[in-house]
Structure 1
Amino acid sequence: MAIPSNILTLLAGVAITCLSLWYGQNHGLLPTAAANDAPLVDGLFNTMMTIATGLFLLVQGLIFVILWRFRRQPNDATDAAPVHGNLALEILWTGIPVVIVLGLSVYSFSVYTTMGGLSVGHGGGSHMAHAHPRDAAIAAELPSSAAEETANMPRVSAGLGTPTAQQPDLTVNVKGLQFAWIFNYPDQNIIAGELHLPLGKSVQLDIEAQDVIHAFWVPQFRLKQDAIPGEQTRLQFTPTQVGTFPIICAELCGSYHGAMRSQVIVETPENYDRWIQSQTATATVLPSRLEEATAALDLQVAPEHIHHLHQLAASL
């Protein structure tokens, strides 16, 4: 008994839908999710994978059906009747992509704003031109020197990360330069070549570049932000998983761009505190060791040089 074509079409649609939904959630293409905003990005990516899988199966399935259904028969010596167009079909295959693209645009914009993509600060151009009217009025009442100093302050571009009403638990200044990342912990007076973060604590990264444009990217955090010379950008997030994750420059920045890597180490709060103490101890012990060495060798070292050594060691 032949199965009606409409029943076959329904069964094929159900099969494609089920396969697309399954693969969209089980593709295994994403790295470990290790930050609080990662599920938002993963949800968007899984949605796109589901739609892409369904369209792929539909198009490839139609190709095979057409190849089989309209194959040349042994006794068929002529071509099929020409088709001059089908307005309804053309509207359908134009309308479906339009709906999909608009839907994904709204979804992705929602994710971007939820992560704080449009929060914080002033973008490019004149600082005062983008300021709130209240800020402009305050600046107008300042003395000319103070107003000029305010206008010349480093600008903060739009941040990315969940915006929080309260201050972050930890702020780290990140500087990109050819071809390395430097991390400054201003509250602890520590400078490091790798980023250490406490698990479950809100983090704010203030990012800038020394020379050319770089991009700070941690795939496991699903976060990427440009590092721009003369302009400060920002990332806000909370690490949710202990581990060591790569930091990659995602903007072509020169000959050794591919080697511009570091790592972020997410630790328990106890281990993070121990790391801070070890870095502080190094900065404290090194100057005293230097003083002892100069005294033992009876070297004549000026006090200002010893002070400079203290400052240098504190920055290591």
Structure 2
Amino acid sequence: MPIPASVLTLAAGILLALISLWVGQNINVMPVAAADDASTVDALFKVLFSIGVGLLLGITAMLVVALVQFRRRPGDHLDGPAVEGNLPLEIFWTAVPAIVILMLGVYSYDIYARMGGMADFSHHTSMPPPEVEQASLGNPADPETVIWGGIDRAEGMAFPVEVTAMQFAFIFHYPQQNFTTGELHLPLGQPVELRLKSNDVIHAFWVPEFRLKQDVIPGQPTVLSFTANRQGDYDIICAELCGPYHGGMRSKVVVEDSRNFEEWLIRNTPTTVATAPDSSQTA
């Protein structure tokens, strides 16, 4: 007794779903996770990866079956059967992808909000950055009308670093210590607030291990808050085409423990040497 096609289809669908879930959850193609929010992003990626594997295997299997089952046999010169349509199948392949895409959209929005993408930037309104003042063409920017963007959930409690993107480099300024460097150093396990600006064109600040990529737009004040949780050296990459040497616009971020970070800050912080006045001039 032949097995009904509906039973075979159901069994194949269940097997495909199990394989896709196993591959998506057990095969890791992402770089090492080095920030607190990386695991949240990875959870979304695993869902997308599972769906992608299922689509790849399912479509490939249907193509192979169609090539084998419905190939032209020797001596067969007739046309194929006139199939006009299949309304239930058309409803199925329209409704299911629509539901999946809607669910992914809601899930993605939730993750973005948890990372701070929908944060209230009102605590930044009192300090419009200089590039906004300059972009106003002589008219001082109103702090209440400055529109901030980015990812922010530190609410002013994080360690600040000012990041300037330009063709073709990133420059990092530590305002509390008042020095500038071409290499970003961050403390392990401490919230950090990057205040990004661009001096020329649109750039993007991307550290794959942090699972963070933020566009840096001229005249647009942007905040990027996160907490690095793994020591190491990681590449900073400009992920927005910004000119002929875009591919070489890279820098490095060094995540180190608090002691080494403090020592690095002390070594780079400029010292003010107090000199005693000349007694002959003060007499």
TM-score, with normalisation over the residues of structure 2?
Answer: 0.84
Gaps of 5+ in 1: 128-147, 292-316
How many residues of Structure 1 are paired with residues of Structure 2 in the alignment? 261
> Could you say what the CA RMSD is over the residues aligned between the two structures, in angstroms?
2.5
- Going from structure 1 to structure 2, the CA distance change for 1:76 and 1:252 (only over 3 Å counts) comes to closer
Letter in 1 for 2:31: P
Gaps of 5+ in 2: 126-138, 276-283
- Going from structure 1 to structure 2, the CA distance change for 1:191 and 1:153 (only over 3 Å counts) comes to farther
Q: Would the aligned equivalents of 1:248 and 1:262 in 2 still touch at CA under 8 Å?
A: yes
* Deviations 1:58-91 (CA, angstroms, capped at 9, x unpaired): 2221222222222334464423321011111111
Comparing 76-85 with 94-103, greater Cα deviation is found at 76-85
Aligned to 1:114: 114
Q: How does 1:82-97 map to 2 (within 5 A)?
A: 82-97=82-97
Aligned to 2:189: 200
Aligned to 1:16: 16
Deviation, structure 1 residue 166 = 6.1
Aligned to 1:250: 239
Of 210, 216, 228, 1:221 maps to 210
* Deviations 1:74-132 (CA, angstroms, capped at 9, x unpaired): 4644233210111111111111111111111111111111111121438xxxx9xxxxx
Deviation, structure 1 residue 232 = 1.3
Larger radius of gyration: 1
- Going from structure 1 to structure 2, the CA distance change for 1:105 and 1:256 (only over 3 Å counts) comes to same
Deviation, structure 1 residue 22 = 1.4
Distance 1:8 1:153 in 2: 64
**Are residues 1:157 and 2:148 paired?**
yes
Aligned to 1:55: 55
Deviation, structure 1 residue 205 = 0.4
Deviation, structure 1 residue 194 = 0.7
* Deviations 1:21-66 (CA, angstroms, capped at 9, x unpaired): 1111233321111111111111111111111111221222122222
Q: How does 1:166-205 map to 2 (within 5 A)?
A: 167-168=157-158, 170-205=159-194
The SS at the match of 2:109 is helix
Letter in 2 for 1:284: T
Letter in 2 for 1:172: V
What is the identity percentage for the equivalent residue pairs of Structure 1 and Structure 2? 47
Q: How does 1:276-291 map to 2 (within 5 A)?
A: 276-280=265-269, 283-284=270-271
Deviation, structure 1 residue 196 = 0.3
Letter in 2 for 1:158: G
Q: Which has the higher helix share?
A: 1
Aligned to 1:41: 41
- Going from structure 1 to structure 2, the CA distance change for 1:71 and 1:240 (only over 3 Å counts) comes to same
